[in-house]
Structure 1
Amino acid sequence: MIRQQQTLVLSPYAALYDIVVPKDNMLRQINELVDFTFIYEELETKYCLDNGRNAIDPIRMFKYLLLKAIFEVSDVDIVERSKYDLSFKYFLGMAPEDPVIDPSSLTKFRKLRLKDISLLDMLIEKTVALAIEKEILKSNSIIVDATHSKARYNQKSPREILQDRARKLRKAVYSMDESVKDRMPVKNTSDVLEDEIAYCQRLITFIEKESGVAQVPKISEPLNLLKETVEDDVEQLRMAADPDARVGHKSADSAFFGYKTHLAMTEERIITAAVITTGEKNDGKQLQALIEKSQAAGLEVKTVIGDTAYSEKDNLAYTKQNEIELVAKLNPLITHGTRKKEDEFLFNKDAGMYVCKAGHMAIRKARQGKKGVGANQTDTYFFDVNKCQTCPLKEGCYKEGAKSKTYSVSMKSDEHSEQMAFQKTEYFKAKAKERYKIEAKNSELKHGHGYDVAISSGLLGMQLQGAMAIFAVNLKRILKLAD
């Protein structure tokens, strides 16, 4: 059995933990709160049990990743800290004198052991079960929203990424010892990526061997980040962009390149479901999955609270059919109208524009038709015809030679009367005020756990990052509520 690879902590120094890791220490509390043996069950098929030397205990490896999510540092720095931070060693199930792992083991664990596992759903379900067991969850409402994460490899060209990290490293070194400026390797001036990589390698070697300050934490963190980029991510840098990331829109004038995490959270601020997609996906289309995942985690869902993105026709029909209240205001642009090709043109509520299946957003809109009660009007959205002419998906969408490309929505004010009446009630208004809580949770993920930028390339990497970050914030919230 894989669990037999775990070793007991038998050390003459074990009593130190009772002195330096108090009962209110967060890591001690997490250890006491969570039974991590579920990791053995999930990963048993990922290990060879009758050949080769024993692997590092998978619970310890998983806990290393959890520490990274909690403290937002690199593989190298989390392992380095575990050498001397006894709260880390206690959490990892190590004796005070035990040696730590090689940082490269974490990369292998992520790529080989956690592949093909529904880690995101599994970890959320574990925390929801804990919250139910502790009688923390009282409500049967979920609040839904989406937050975006920028792709790691897109904001700048590969050369600019290396230049920026090298610049930060030099700046940190100069703040410690300005006299090393004259001895620094000569900066690269060519536009060739290989030349920039070679310069960064020379810079790393110089700082490690000749600067005399490489071990100072202020220097080691930017140094390790540059090393990680050069050594582990050269292949990704050559790609110049994340292959899975897509352009999404925060407003008509603001876009990002990356991913979206669609969240469902209870009023007690425990995340009950998450769906991670590429950046262009519509928020409202994920509602059904969020409800069903929350129910699978053990929550009885009677009310859903969201913004206008979730009030589209399909969601109104689904929630009514399943006897769920949908506290989301109607937006006439997406709910009152009738339109064709609904799957090919999706509405972006932040920008107030439609986006075609190629990810191009309309550049302007115009309302046409007579005003007045009972009169039908049409909102027409205009797309950039120059993009349409060269679009790989133009067949069946753009007519060759056309001077414009539009998409129209017919407006009918007499539809959705039930929802319109519901949103005028005091109950609706009171429930809608709870939505601010998920905005705060999104901020916590981004600013407290590094969720504003992807730490690796690809959708699978983003899903792993999301799984560990959400697991961490849920555990912290359970500890706070249990207190």
Structure 2
Amino acid sequence: MLSQQQLPLSEYSSLYDIVVPQDNLLRRINNLIDFSFVYQELVNKYCPDNGRTAESPIRMFKYLLLKTIYDISDVDVVERSRYDMSFKYFLDMTPEEGVINPSSLCKFRRLRLKDTDLMNLLIKKTVEIAIEKGIITSKTIIVDSTHTKARSNPYSPVEILKLRSKQLRKALYAMDDNIKETLPAKNEDDDLVHELDYTKDLLNHITSDSCLSEVPAVKQRLNMLKETLADIEDHYTTSKDTDARVGHKTEDTSFFGYKTHIAMSDERIITAATVTSGEKGDGPQLEELVEQSRKNGMEVDTVVGDTAYSGCKNLKLAEDEERGFRLVSKLHPSISSGFRKSEDNFDYNKDAGMFVCPAGHMAIRKVIMGKNRNWNQSMTYFFDVDKCKTCSRRNGCYKDGAKSKTYSVPIKKGEHKRQLEFQKTQEFKEIARQRYKIEAKNSELKQVYGYDKALSYGLDCMQMQGAMTIFAVNIKRILRLS
């Protein structure tokens, strides 16, 4: 049951004016954003007249925002809100008020945020604020994607336990190098049972010393190891993320996880984003990124992207009278001529320079075929026929007994004459130079907010992580520019 929201009253509230300065990040965020939109969005997720009184959805949302900004676990964000006055102020708590149980955050994500278009809701809110403050004045968006590794990749259960144990020991050694002599003997083999036994012994040894286990640096690593152990004991193996897929960074390197496709204004405010599995191409996401940016309040007349966005479909979209825009994306012969069949849905991976079939398998080599005269040729991509033989989508794609599987793309100059002419202009070159900005934004997402690794399993959880991360990034950017 969700009760009427009331302002907390306390004789100690004046302490906030003393200990939380006006330039504090969390105070500035509170002054910038009216979080009542969270209550209005989630009020229908609660029963109005039955059950126990629920925690304020605004406070629960703010907990998740703090977790994202400071890149800490559920346990640690709740613990810090117990004594950190800036956290208490941000959460609209009285100085003497108690904290929630960390498990409530998990329930909030699963029960209240499920089936909510959180990504577009939060991005739209920040874009509205940026426009209202006059920060977004350009009509240009820059598009790109960034990859996130799945939580279950690349470690086996033994490897992830060894890694977490090592991180915990390192935190202990930083305090006192002599502590090595008191710890249980490390497991030296790769047997999972032996590693589980060692992990339990290590945890028991550290938690038995209340002074040692309460040191903040040790406690964070201790909580991470406990979470990992609980997950592995639950499944006896690290859970395989069924939504994650293998994507390719280059022809020779790959990752297992997800892609977040981003549109960003020239002022470096993210205006739209979509999350897909790792094997999806960048080009097919362009239409949705442009349309969503416009729905969020951004005027778009120019789109800047790399060669992945210069496919035939996107070139036609750019020339559309109603939805069109100026597309600043260099042509590549392999993608500029469109697909052999529209229903094939073969995606081009610009990093690897290869096409990926609908099942997610990447071509193993490519050959230019045809007459070597002007552009009257085709680029033929060869796939691993052994994978085709056992592929679940082989019907209608692979003919039984065939010794090869290829995909050919015609290379024709005439169809893209206008884009080629535009590509040669100084205007195109000047605008294209702005693409570096989104590379820096992708780096910020990973290096500052931990977006290089998924926090949970499944596409829904990845979308939630992306929504909170982008919201935090946009807020800090707005504060910097305002």
Q: TM-score, normalised by structure 2?
A: 0.95
**Structure 2 Cα separation of the partners of residues 379 and 359 of structure 1:** 20
Tell me the residue number matched to 1:451.
451
* 1:236–1:242 contact (8 Å) kept in structure 2: no
Task: Provide, for residues 293-348 of structure 1, a one-character-per-residue CA deviation record: whole Å limited to 9, x for no partner.
Answer: 11111111111111111110111111211231111111111113662366342211
User: Offset at 1:370?
Assistant: 2.6
CA distance in 1, matches of 2:447, 2:289: 24
CA distance in 2, matches of 1:295, 1:236: 44
2:403 and 2:251 map into 1 onto residues whose CA distance is 23
User: Is 1:339 aligned to 2:340, yes or no?
Assistant: yes
Amino acid at match of 1:246: R
**1:458 is matched by which residue type in structure 2?**
G
Does the CA-based 8 Å contact 1:382-1:404 persist in structure 2?
Answer: yes
Question: What is the CA distance between 1:449 and its match in structure 2?
Answer: 0.6
Structure 1 vs Structure 2 CA RMSD: 2.0
**1:367 aligned partner:** 368
CA distance in 2: counterparts of 1:352 and 1:344, whole angstroms? 16
My pick for the range that moved more, 294-303 or 236-245, is 236-245
Matching of residue 407 in structure 1 with residue 407 in structure 2: yes
Letter of the aligned partner of 2:126 in structure 1?
T
Q: Which amino acid aligns with 2:170?
A: K
Q: CA deviation at 1:187?
A: 4.4
> How far did residue 207 of structure 1 move?
0.7
Kindly state the Cα deviation for residue 372 of structure 1 after the two structures are TM-superposed. Answer: 2.5
Q: How does 1:249-288 map to 2 (within 5 A)?
A: 249-288=248-287
**What SS is found at the alignment partner of 1:10?**
coil
Show the counterpart of 1:380. Answer: 380
CA shift, 1:394, in A, is 2.1
| CA deviation vs aligned residue, 1:427-472 (integer Å, no higher than 9, x gap) | 2111111111111111111111110110111101100100100000
Q: Equivalences for 1:10-89 in 2 at 5 Å? A: 10-89=9-88
Q: Is the 8 A contact 2:143 2:263 kept in 1?
A: yes
Does the Cα contact within 8 Å between 1:249 and 1:256 map onto a contact in 2?
yes
| 1:212 shift after superposition | 4.3
Equivalent residue, structure 2, for 1:463: 463
Instruction: State how many pairs are aligned.
Output: 480
Cα deviation, residue 210, structure 1: 3.6
Partners of 1:430 and 1:237 in 2: how far apart? 55
Contact conserved, 2:3 with 2:54, CA < 8 A, in 1?
no
Compute the displacement of 1:238 (Å).
2.8
- Partner residue of 1:295? 294
> What one-letter code is carried by the residue in structure 2 that aligns with 1:397?
C
Do residues 476 (structure 1) and 476 (structure 2) align?
yes
TM-score by length of 1: 0.94
Partner in structure 1 of residue 120 of structure 2: 121
1:400 and 1:386 map into 2 onto residues whose CA distance is 11
CA distance in structure 2 between the aligned counterparts of 1:200 and 1:452, rounded to whole angstroms: 26
The answer to whether the Cα contact below 8 Å between 1:153 and 1:237 also exists between their aligned partners in 2 is no
Q: Please give the alpha-carbon distance, in whole angstroms, between the structure 1 residues aligned to 2:287 and 2:117.
A: 18
Compared with structure 1, are the counterparts of its residues 441 and 3 closer, same or farther at alpha carbon in structure 2 (3 Å cutoff)?
A: farther
What do the CA deviations read for 1:194-242 (whole angstroms, capped 9, x no partner)?
Answer: 5544442332222111474111122111101111222356446635421
1:186 CA displacement: 4.8
Residues 153-212 of structure 1: CA deviation (Å, up to 9, x unaligned) = 121112211121112212322343455445434545675645544442332222111474
Distance, in Å, in 2 between the alignment partners of 1:242 and 1:460 is 11
1:108 corresponds to: 107
**Distance in 2 of aligned mates of 1:79 and 1:348:** 42
Query: d(CA) in 2 for partners of 1:82 and 1:437?
Result: 35
Structure-2 change in CA distance of 1:65 and 1:182 (3 Å): same
1:352 matched residue in structure 2:
353
Q: Equivalents in 1 of 2:447, 2:179: separation in Å?
A: 34
| Corresponding residue number in structure 1 for 2:136 | 137
1:438 aligns with 438
> In the alignment, is the contact (CA less than 8 A) between 1:124 and 1:470 conserved in 2?
yes
Q: 2 CA distance for matches of 1:281 and 1:412?
A: 25
Partners of 1:236 and 1:457 within 8 A in 2: no
User: What amino acid maps onto 2:276 in structure 1?
Assistant: T
- Asked if the contact 1:246/1:259 (under 8 Å) is kept, the reply is yes
Does the CA-based 8 Å contact 1:40-1:58 persist in structure 2? yes
Segments of 5+ residues of structure 2 without an aligned counterpart are none
Residue identity over aligned pairs, in percent, reads 59
Q: Which residue of 1 aligns with 2:308?
A: 309
Q: Give a deviation string over 1:130-174, Cα, whole Å, max 9, x none.
A: 111112110111111100000011211122111211122123223
Give the match for residue 146 of structure 1.
Answer: 145
CA contact 1:337–1:412 (8 Å) conserved in 2: no
Greater mean deviation of Cα atoms: 115-124 or 207-216: 207-216
Tell me, in whole angstroms, the C-alpha distance in 2 between the residues paired with 1:135 and 1:344. Answer: 41
Give the distance between the partners of 1:303 and 1:12, measured in 2 at CA: 55
| C-alpha deviation, 1:250, in angstroms | 0.9
